[in-house]
Amino acid sequence: MLLSHDSVLRIVTEIKEMNTVFERAEGMGADWENELKYFLEEVGELEEEGSLDHSLVGSLDALVDICVFAVGALHKAGHDAEKTVAEILAAHTVEIRAVTTPEHYRNACAGILRTVLLTVTTLIGEKRTVECFHEVYLSNMSKLKDGKPVPGNLPGKFGKNMETYFKPNLAKYLK
């Protein structure tokens, strides 16, 4: 069963807040070719974690990151939280590995989110899914210094405030 509207809204709202804080404003325009690269990188991590060391924690991390990037892409494309939630709740699941072009990714974002949220919810339940995403939100916000992103080494990438940053503890949601 998919998460309730309120649970999906909480997840989407926190991801959108992260995007705003990390200077990815709503409606700034999504570069779908770049968004596809981020997505494919996370799918690669998911496949690697699942096949190399069979790490459920690594797989959960990759699934959460897929959602973070997909919501972020929709956020940059101008979708507000309610529109994003409505699209997720109405979408059909998709074969994630079959998404290989920027246009397909743009058209499949809501289906990807539905697929991943169904997978995570089936694995750990609704309450833990919401808590897991909140843990990732708190971890990302811990990267900030004085409420601002720390410059990174690559364009469009941000660093971590090592005085406050903590890695999310996703293992606790699998127990």
CA–CA distance, 159 with 86 (Å, rounded to integer): 33
Residues with Cβ within 8 Å of 156's Cβ and at least 6 positions away in sequence, in order, are: none
| Contact (Cβ atoms closer than 8 angstroms) between residue 72 and residue 15 | yes
Q: Does residue 35 register a pLDDT over 60? A: yes
* pTM over cut 0.85: yes
- Of 154, 142, 139, 147, the closest CA to residue 21 belongs to 147
Q: Does residue 50 register a pLDDT over 70? A: no
Residues with Cβ within 8 Å of 40's Cβ and at least 6 positions away in sequence, in order, are: 100
Q: What is the mean pLDDT of residues 41-49?
A: 86
| Contact (Cβ atoms closer than 8 angstroms) between residue 79 and residue 106 | no
Q: Report how far apart, in Å, the C-alpha atoms of 25 and of each of 18, 39, 72, 125 are.
A: 10, 19, 9, 31
The predicted-structure confidence for 112-142, as pLDDT tens digits, reads as follows: 999 999 999 999 999 999 999 999 999 999 9
| Contact (Cβ atoms closer than 8 angstroms) between residue 94 and residue 111 | yes
Q: Does residue 100 register a pLDDT over 90? A: yes
For residue 153, what pLDDT is reported? 79
CA–CA distance, 53 with 89 (Å, rounded to integer): 33
- Of 151, 129, 141, the closest CA to residue 60 belongs to 129
How would residue 49 be classed by pLDDT, with cut points 50, 70 and 90? low
Q: Does residue 51 register a pLDDT over 80? A: no
For residue 58, what pLDDT is reported? 87
Give the tokens for residue 164.
């406050």
Q: Does residue 28 register a pLDDT over 90? A: no
